[in-house]
Amino acid sequence: MRGGLKSVHSRWSNHFAYVLAATGAAVGLGNIWKFPYIMGEHGGGAFVLVYLLCIAVIGIPVMMAEVSIGKCGRQSPAYAVKKLAEQSDASWGWRSIGWMGLVTGYLILSFYAVIAGWALAYVFYGISGEFINDRESISSLFSNLNRSPLPLLGWSSVIILTTVIVVGNGLKHGLERAVVYIMPAMFLLLVIMAIYAARNGDFSQTLSFMFSPNFSSLTVNGVVVALGHAFFTLSLASGVMMMYGAYLPEETSITQTSLWIAAADTLVAIIAGLAIYPIVFAQGMAPGQGPGLIFVTLPLSFAQMPFGGFFGTLFFIMLVFAAFTSAIALIEASVAYLIERATFKRWPAAAISGFGIWILSLGTVMSFTGFEVTNFKFAVFGEQIEASFFQMIDYLTANLLMPIGGVLIALFVGWAVKPSLLKQEFQRDMLIYPLWRFLLRYLSPVAILLVFLTLIGVINV
């Protein structure tokens, strides 16, 4: 019966195509933009260690759970979960996990596309020689970009349109073809950047910053951030891994591919740190700069370095590549849903889904460009809160939907799904299976729950 269900979807050509696509989904702004700056904010080496631990004992097991759901269900997330629940005589209610994933991915893309739009704008700044200007004009690039909605809207629209075109072309001709070219190019650019940084920047300070753990600088908040980021960087609880798992060739090992994907994602994050910090340190700048690290600090540093304009441009091309392979993953579940349920063809499905993203992205564009209409004031438990549309979507996805989704996925696969269904997937990895199940049943739900309660302020640290 399993895998025998007639699916309207195709499959990846081979394991390699899947690993590239899923690594492309995982590697993104999170690795190159977010990881270096949160590492900087939380004290370097000790944070890196905790992050690695979170990836290994929570991130990888949850990823394997999601891919298993997709592979057994062979449909878009909600229906894949529903099928597995039916086969396990579990409640239909579990399918809400799939819906949550789909909605999370959709919401994430609405702001992800705008940040990718920033990166795209910087490629053009680089090409037009802005990075070799004086300090004043470089510092004002970012504020100018966010001064009025139109330019930012233009850049993010290009990202969304390109995403729609690639996904509209189908699994093999669109997504697969894109990742086969983009991922190796991205990796090559990253290595070039790291070599450039090592030769021209302060590499030894970077090594001691990143790899000599100083546990006194690690806070409980740092641990929470590390686990939250492990989820974000592996693209968990966002419908992506379930959807990509649904396209997995029958004989592909979920364990091995998940290990590869997590390893590649981590490697990229570490190399990104090695590519950015030597340049930041060389100019005597501080690592805890926050989100502006790569859009403000980095261009300023490049301007002082040999061939900085050229390498600065390469850096942002790499960033756009990395973001783009995540964007196509983020939209895919909604497109697959429209194809399978509303019997749309792929092109209209991609266009409709893309249009919805575009509309939502306007909220983030407005938030970045300071429009009053996107600032909301409300009271939670008597506390006055003021947040922009972007901040609300970011909070909703990162602090609520992803952790709740993560706990539910772990509970569903760990407790509700019949072990016999899962064991078939792990026939060749029988040694791993008990360890995986143990982590999924006990460690993952408890750890994610603790982090969730801390994030929303129920546990005070």
Smallest distance, ligand PHE to C-beta of residue 49, A:
19
Token code pair at residue 63: 């990823």
Distances (CA, A) of 152 to 294, 301, 318, 366, 374: 17, 24, 19, 9, 16
Token code pair at residue 298: 């980095």
Site string for ligand PHE, 232-261 (x = CB under 6 A): xx-x--x-x---------------------
Smallest distance, ligand PHE to C-beta of residue 242, A:
11
Instruction: Indicate whether 325 belongs to the interface with ligand PHE (CB under 6 A).
Output: no
Q: Which residues inside 260-289 make contact with ligand PHE, applying CB under 6 A?
A: none
Give the separation between CA 32 and CA 242, rounded to whole angstroms. 24
Site string for ligand PHE, 88-127 (x = CB under 6 A): -----------------x--x-------------------
- Give the DSSP H/E element, type plus range, for residue 79: helix 77-87
Token code pair at residue 86: 């039916």
Which residue type is seen at 71?
K
Find the binder of ligand PHE among 18, 20, 28, 258 (CB under 6 A): 28
Helices (H) and strands (E) in the chain, counts: 22, 2
Residue pair 201/2 in contact by the 8 Å Cβ criterion = no
Which residue type is seen at 325?
T
Token code pair at residue 105: 């991915």
Smallest distance, ligand PHE to C-beta of residue 231, A:
8
Give the separation between CA 335 and CA 350, rounded to whole angstroms. 5
Q: Which residues inside 203-232 make contact with ligand PHE, applying CB under 6 A?
A: 232
Distances (CA, A) of 114 to 108, 165, 411: 10, 17, 34
Nearer to ligand PHE, 28 or 70 (CB): 28
Nearer to ligand PHE, 206 or 397 (CB): 397
User: Which is it for the CA torsion 383, 384, 388, 389, positive or negative?
Assistant: positive
**Which listed range, 27-35, 81-89, 309-317, 387-395, lies at the site for ligand PHE (CB under 6 A)?**
27-35
How remote is the C-alpha of 125 from its chain's centroid? Answer: 25
Smallest distance, ligand PHE to C-beta of residue 377, A:
29
Nearer to ligand PHE, 240 or 360 (CB): 240
3-state helix, strand, coil in the chain (%, to 5): 80, 5, 20
Nearer to ligand PHE, 281 or 324 (CB): 324
Site string for ligand PHE, 30-69 (x = CB under 6 A): xx--------------------------------------
Nearer to ligand PHE, 31 or 454 (CB): 31
**Which listed range, 20-28, 46-54, 168-176, 349-357, lies at the site for ligand PHE (CB under 6 A)?**
20-28
Smallest distance, ligand PHE to C-beta of residue 399, A:
14
Taking CB atoms, the residue at the shortest distance from ligand PHE is 30
Give the separation between CA 198 and CA 275, rounded to whole angstroms. 7
Helix, coil or strand: residue 379: strand
Helix, coil or strand: residue 286: coil
Which residues, including other chains, have CB under 8 Å from residue 144's CB and lie 6 or more apart? none
User: Which is it for the CA torsion 450, 455, 456, 461, positive or negative?
Assistant: positive
Nearer to ligand PHE, 55 or 422 (CB): 55
Smallest distance, ligand PHE to C-beta of residue 164, A:
16
Q: Which residues inside 329-348 make contact with ligand PHE, applying CB under 6 A?
A: 329-330
**Which listed range, 24-32, 121-129, 146-154, 210-218, lies at the site for ligand PHE (CB under 6 A)?**
24-32
Q: Binding residues for ligand PHE, per CB under 6 A?
A: 25-26, 28-31, 105, 108, 232-233, 235, 238, 240, 326, 329-330
